[in-house]
Amino acid sequence: MSLRKQIIYRILISSLCMLIMGSALAIWQARKSVDKEVDASIHLALQLITLGIDNTPIFQQGDELSHFRALQQTRHLSIQLQKPDGQLIHFAGDDQPSHPEKSPPAWFIKLVQGDYPTVEHQLKTKEGKILTLLIQAQPLDEITEVWQETVGFFSSILLLTLLTFIAVNLAFNKSLKSITVIVKALRGIESGHYHQALPPFAIAEFDSIAKAINHLMVELDKTRQENRSLTQHSLAIQEDERQHLAQELHDELGQSLTAIKVMAVTAPHQKADIRKISSSIVEICNHLTDVVRSMMQELHPLVLTELGLKATLDDLVQHWSERNPALELKIQCDERVDRIDKNIAIQVFRVIQECLTNVVRHANAQQVNISLELSEHTKSTLLLLKIHDDGQGCDLKTILRGFGLLGMKERIKSLNGEIMFDSRIGQGMTISAEIPLI
C-alpha cells in the first residue's frame, strides 16, 4: 500500500472515530440541554403561578382566562386548566413544531427526548370549586434547535475533514514529485551515473536527503576513480614485476647457465683445470641460489608459511635494519598472531612492508615502532596493528591520494577491518588498524 493511501486511511479512520465520539457527546449534551431547558420552563411557569395566582387564592371562575394569559408565552410547555366537570381549557403549547420543515428526524428525537411527567397544581375559586392546572413538557422546539446546532457542528467537522483531505493530497502531490526525482537519482547511482546532482527542494526533509545523496554520489565517484587508479597502478606494478623477473632471469640465470655450460664443455679437454672449473661452478650455483632465494622472497616470503607471522616480521625488521643501519626499528608482536588465518597474515605482512618502504623513502625518520597484538572480547577478537615513526610527517589531505596508502586501505578493507592515519608536519605518522578475527 502506498504512503498516500496509508495516510488517507488513517485520517479517514481518525475522522470516523472523532465523528462517533462527537456524535455520542453531542447527543448527551443535547439531551442534557433539553432536560435543563424543560425544567427551567416548568419552574418558571410554577413561579408565575405562585406569584400571580397563589397570592389571590380565591377568584371568580369566569376570570381564570385573564389570570393565565401570562402563561401563553411560556416555551416548551403545554398548559391546560381542568375544571371540576373534567373540561380542559388549553392556554399554552402546541403539539406541532413552529417550523415543521426543520423538524429533526425521529431517531434523534427518540435519543434526545426524555420522560417528562405531568405537573399538577390545585387552584380554588370563590365558589369553592377546585381547578387543576396541568403542566406538561413539550420539548420539540428545543430539540429542533439542538438538532440545528448539531447539524451545524457536524457540517463543520465534515468540511474540516474534506479540507484536510485536500490539503494532504496537495502536500503529497508535491512530496511525491520530490520522491520521484530522488528515486530517479538513486537509479542513476545504481547505473553508475554519479554526476547528476539533485536540485535543492523547498521541503527541508527532502532537501536534507538530496544533500546526503549528492554527498554520496561525490564519495562514490571519488571511490570509483581511486579504485580505477589503484587498479591501473596494480596492473602497472604487475607488469614491472614481470619485466624485472624476466630481466633477472635473463641476466642472472641465463648468463650463469651459459657459463656453466661453457665450463662443462671445456672440462673434458686434457689441459682443462678440473679443480678450478668445479670451484667456479660451485660459486655460480651459490650465486644462483641467492638470486632465486631473493626472487622468491620478493614474490612470497616462504618463512611466513613455514615459521609463521611473528618470525616473518622479525626477519623483515632485521632485513630492513641491515639495509638501513641509521634507522632504529622496534617490533612488539604477540605470540598468538601465528594462529591467525594465512590470508590475514599475508595482508598484514604486506601492510607493514609497505609502511617500512614509505618510511625509508619519504619519512626521513630515525625510529619506527611496530606493535601487533590480539585483543579478545566476549563476542569478538580483534587484531590490533599500530605503526609509529618520528619522521617529518605530512599533510594527510594530499598524501592519502598516494597509491601506497590506498593499497593499505584496500588490504585492510578486504579483511572487513578499519585503518586510520594520523600525521602532522614535523610530528611523524601513526597508522592504526583493527581487523576482526571472529
pLDDT in tens, the chain (438 residues): 676 777 778 878 887 887 788 778 878 887 787 777 777 777 766 666 666 554 444 444 444 445 555 555 555 666 677 777 776 766 655 555 555 556 778 787 777 777 666 777 677 766 777 777 777 676 777 777 778 888 887 788 788 878 887 887 787 777 778 888 888 888 888 877 777 888 888 888 888 988 998 888 888 888 888 777 777 777 777 777 777 777 777 777 788 888 888 888 887 887 777 888 888 888 888 888 888 877 777 777 777 777 888 988 898 888 888 888 888 999 999 888 888 888 888 889 989 988 998 888 888 889 999 999 998 876 788 999 999 999 888 877 766 566 678 788 888 888 889 999 998 888 889 999 999 986
CA distance 296 to 287: 14
| Cβ contact 311:348 at 8 Å | no
CB count within 10 Å of CB 388 equals 19
Q: Phi, psi (5° rounding) for residue 257?
A: -65, -35
3-state secondary structure of 282: helix
3-state secondary structure of 238: helix
| Cβ contact 80:88 at 8 Å | yes
Q: Phi, psi (5° rounding) for residue 148?
A: -65, -40
pLDDT at res. 385: 94
Sign of CA dihedral 43, 45, 46, 50: positive
Distance of CA 118 to the CA centre of its chain: 69
How does DSSP classify residue 360?
A: I
pTM: 0.49
Which parts of 83-232 are beta strand (E)?
88-92, 119-125, 130-137
pLDDT at res. 368: 93
For 433, half-sphere exposure in the C-beta direction (CA atoms, 13 angstrom radius) is 29
| Cβ contact 284:260 at 8 Å | yes
Query: Hey, which residues does 422 pair with through a beta bridge?
Result: 430
pLDDT at res. 59: 46
CA distance 32 to 55: 34
How does 270-291 read in b/e, with b if 16+ C-beta sit within 10 Å? eeeeeeebeeebeebeeeeeeb
CA distance 39 to 342: 97
CA distance 314 to 332: 10
How does DSSP classify residue 437?
A: -
Q: Phi, psi (5° rounding) for residue 155?
A: -65, -40
Task: Categorise residue 389: left if φ over 0, alpha if ψ from -120 to 50, beta otherwise.
Answer: beta
- Looking up cell 578475527, which residue turns up? 437
Instruction: At 407, list the grid cell.
Output: 593499497
CB count within 10 Å of CB 112 equals 24
Give, for 329, the enclosing helix (H) or strand (E).
strand 328-333
CB count within 10 Å of CB 408 equals 23
CA distance 214 to 232: 27
pLDDT at res. 367: 92
pLDDT at res. 62: 47
Give first-to-last CA distance, the chain, whole Å. Answer: 41
pLDDT at res. 101: 57
| Cβ contact 244:228 at 8 Å | no
